[in-house]
Amino acid sequence: LKLENKTKEKLQKQICQVVLDHFEKQYTTELGDTWTSIRDVLTHPLCWQYAVLLNKFSQSAELENTLHVKGYHPAFQGPLPYLPASLKCYIRRSPGRFPAQKHQAGKLKEYYLLNAASLLPVLALEVKDGEDVLDLCAAPGGKSVAILQCAYPGQFHCNEYDDLRSRWLKQTIESFIPDPLINLIKVSQLDGRQIGDLQPESYDKVLVDAPCSNDRSWLFSSDIQQATLRLIQRKELSSLQFQLLRSAIKALRPGGSLVYSTCTLSKAENSDVINLILNSCSNVMPVDISEMAKAVSQEFTFLGGTQQHEILVLPEKGRAWGPMYVAKLKKM
Ligand code: SAM
């Protein structure tokens, strides 16, 4: 019955035509025919897949057995440095969602459901034990949780500007991270654009998982007025993203690196922003992430012809992950 309800829920989701028309125009120009197959995945929620990220702080052999029985397999395997053995994520080719776990006071959750491509910015960041890490735009906290599956940072600062989302972030951290590790995490509610000035040269790694046009969810906006407003304000996002990046660079120690990510296909919010940073900040250089992309290429489809410091994951049937843009920069 539950499954039937879920299916109904998905079938009832309505495409927002103004958003689709807007994307159609922009992405046909930017991606050509490739957009047609991406659109087919994005507009059909019944094709969507969800990955299951295990929580190493609440391990369960029973859960792994259930996942195997249901046809899931580990997504990232290999002795490469970007694939830490402690990060366990299960995926399967067929669509559908593993049931979400309810919040239970005093009990850690065993897994987090997410788009598998969301782990790529975390892998690209290559956090090592003891490093000081800033997650600049952290809510709801999926990538913060994933970072803590990979390593034990020295300082871990998770920031989220929005009040409601900041509370959501705190709840995620409480649901996944045990004592005493949780006490080492600082959660703040600052405008990420100011952190660079407030805490200059303080971090070894910064994740800028920027506010962006969320292509997948915008296509299903139920409020046409809100969707129209979003499309108008969309042009301002690149300037916000640029300022967040400038702040992240200030917050980095020399020699430190940052990863920038978005969940949109839009060139204006992806490579254009990174190119502007590279052209205007003389103290940053691009970092090659093509080896990492190669290491995970079995599970993801990437846009061809991008530069070595960036990847764009394109959703495809059976590998319906993304959209996700990832770029890596280093401060000199
Ligand atoms: N990293 C999160 C995760 O994996 O769960 C998702 C982050 S979401 C793509 C971007 C977040 O940036 C939103 O929660 C949004 O409220 C927040 N945000 C927007 N403007 C911001 C700002 N000026 N400073 C910091 N965060 C901001």
Asked if 110 contacts 101 with a C-beta cutoff of 8 angstroms, the reply is yes
Percent of the chain with pLDDT over 90: 91
- The pLDDT tens digits of the residues spanning 138-157 come to 999 999 999 999 999 999 99
Residue 68: band (very low, low, confident or very high) from pLDDT cuts 50, 70, 90:
very high
Positions annotated as catalytic residues are: 263
Three-state DSSP class for 178? coil
- The pLDDT tens digits of the residues spanning 202-233 come to 999 999 999 999 999 999 999 999 999 999 99
Residue 82: band (very low, low, confident or very high) from pLDDT cuts 50, 70, 90:
confident
pLDDT for residue 172 = 96
Ligand 1 centre to CA of 212 (Å) is 9
pLDDT above 90 (res 304): yes
Give, using CA atoms, the residue closest to atom 19 of ligand 1. Answer: 211
Which of 272, 268, 137 has the alpha carbon at shortest distance from 206? 137
CA 268 to chain centre: 18
pLDDT for residue 215 = 97
pLDDT for residue 102 = 87
Average pLDDT of every residue of the chain? 95
pLDDT for residue 55 = 98
Measured torsion, CA atoms of residues 125, 288, 241, 138, in degrees rounded to the nearest 10: -10
pLDDT above 60 (res 3): no
Three-state DSSP class for 124? helix
Ligand 1 centre to CA of 141 (Å) is 9
pLDDT for residue 316 = 96
Ligand 1 centre to CA of 269 (Å) is 14
pLDDT for residue 9 = 56
pLDDT for residue 2 = 54
Residue 131: band (very low, low, confident or very high) from pLDDT cuts 50, 70, 90:
very high
d(CA 297, CA 159): 31
- The pLDDT tens digits of the residues spanning 286-299 come to 999 999 999 999 99
Around ligand 1, the residues with Cβ closer than 6 Å are 118, 136-143, 159-162, 165, 191-193, 209, 211
Give, using CA atoms, the residue closest to atom 8 of ligand 1. Answer: 211
Name the pairing type of β-strands 133-135 and 156-159: parallel
Which atom of ligand 1 has the smallest separation from the CA of 135?
Answer: 1
Asked if 88 contacts 146 with a C-beta cutoff of 8 angstroms, the reply is no
pLDDT above 60 (res 171): yes
pLDDT for residue 103 = 81
pLDDT for residue 186 = 98
d(CA 65, CA 78): 21
| Cis check: omega of the bond before 84, within 30 degrees of 0 | no
Please give the model's pTM, rounded to 2 decimal places: 0.96
- The pLDDT tens digits of the residues spanning 110-130 come to 999 999 999 999 999 999 999
- The pLDDT tens digits of the residues spanning 9-48 come to 555 689 999 999 999 999 999 999 999 999 999 999 999 9
Three-state DSSP class for 13? coil
Ligand 1 centre to CA of 191 (Å) is 10
pLDDT for residue 77 = 75
pLDDT for residue 11 = 53
Place of tokens 């995620």: 172
* 280 DSSP β-pair partners: none
Asked if 109 contacts 52 with a C-beta cutoff of 8 angstroms, the reply is no
d(CA 256, CA 234): 30
d(CA 5, CA 106): 30
d(CA 222, CA 8): 16
b (16+ CB within 10 A) / e for 206-217: bbbbbbbbebbe
Give, using CA atoms, the residue closest to atom 15 of ligand 1. Answer: 211
- ipTM entry: 1.00
pLDDT above 90 (res 181): yes
- The pLDDT tens digits of the residues spanning 253-277 come to 999 999 999 999 999 999 999 999 9
Top-confidence residue, 83 or 270: 270
